[in-house]
Amino acid sequence: MRSALPKVLHPVAGNSMLGHVIHSARQLNPERIHVVIGHGADAVRERLAADDLNFVLQDKQLGTGHAVAQAVPFISADTVSVLILYGDVPLIEVETLQRLLLQAAPEQLGLLTVELADPTGYGRIVRNGEGKVTAIVEQKDANEAERAITEGNTGILAVPAKRLGDWMSRLSNNNAQGEYYLTDVIAMAVSDGLTVATEQPHDAMEVQGANDRKQLSELERHYQLRAARRLMAQGVTLRDPARFDVRGDVTVGRDVLIDINVILEGRVVIEDDVVIGPNCVIKDSTLRKGAVIKANSHIDGAVLGEGSDAGPFARLRPGTVLDARAHVGNFVELKNAHLGEDAKAGHLTYLGDAEIGARTNIGAGTITCNYDGANKHKTVLGQDVFIGSNNSLVAPVDILDGATTAAGSTINQKVEKSQLAVARSRQKNIDGWKRPEKIKKN
């Protein structure tokens, strides 16, 4: 990877490769997940620490078999099956693993294989005349006939737990690499009279790993296309599935329209009839039925009510709530602000730590002065308030129902119901005014 970051921490769709593998493992409801760590162990442990993970240190990287052997002492005596996964194979599907686990039995081992047009680099699955698996041969150790085999080993196994310790103790490093190969378990199982049952993924990319940035980008794009297909199957129209990214957990309704270059991050809920314009980022937010996000908007930690809209070029920061049909226009930023039903902030406005009543209209260039250098303060506007353009609302301040503030005002006192507040210097027109002249340089 040519990186200071451990390989398994490199991201695919906003989550580390190892994070994806752990997420898949968790969905199988295992009694325990053991993570064997070596290079960059401290960074991996720090990034992914969780109560259900047991990190096992492999001091020396002596091969895949050696790695698994480090975890064997931590496997409970009551464990029935052990599933072995790889931290740089992030796209493996839970359904594929479930099928593989069904192959594990006291006298049977489950092996995930894959058919490849070009199996270069993969261990080859060797079968006898009856089609039964007899061994796996690594490419460096394979002869010409074995290299012609197109069925490759993914390395993913489901094995009877009671056999694993014995097999690990019998591994040898007598091979071209001088390593302890996990693949040698297959020959041991056959020698011990076990059946090796195989499963294959529906998609070969499920078992693709990443050893460089190019392969990482291929995993990213495949993940995104897979996510796009799933969303389209649920009723989403994507203008271009190749220009769309999911980096989290997305729930969608029907008749949703998403334009190009949209990124969905974290936990995003999109209800029916929502429209998202091009070049938008939606993070940890909920978009209620019929909400519209216009082009180039950034929505983070916000809730948009039914029929509300934001943008273009709107920024809604954490704590923002738009009630039904509320409108946020271009170059408007909200943070911890609540706009009531049919309230409007059309353009060039900042509203922070604010409560805005129904049908209130915020004029262009208005800002809430909510921070005094040490503490945040709240601005409260009632219903049907009209805020003139270029207002500064100095919090804490209340403006009650039906009140109006004049354009260019700085409001720092309470405005009662239906009052007009004017807080600006009186205009003076001076006759005979002569503009300064530019001094000519010699």
Q: Which residues pair with 244 in a beta bridge?
A: 262
Q: How many CB atoms are located within 10 Å of the residue 96 CB?
A: 21
* Interacting residues of 328 by C-beta distance below 8 A, sequence separation 6+: 308, 309, 310, 311, 314, 316, 322, 334, 339, 345
Q: How far apart are CA 348 and CA 333, in angstroms?
A: 8
Q: How far apart are CA 196 and CA 93, in angstroms?
A: 21
Which residues have a catalytic role annotated?
Answer: 347
Per-residue CA distances from 412 to 292, 368, 369, 373, 422 (Å): 34, 10, 9, 16, 11
**In whole angstroms, what separates CA 125 from the centre of its chain?**
35
Q: Which residues pair with 81 in a beta bridge?
A: 160
Q: How far apart are CA 338 and CA 320, in angstroms?
A: 6
Angle between helices 161-169 and 184-191 (to 10 degrees): 110
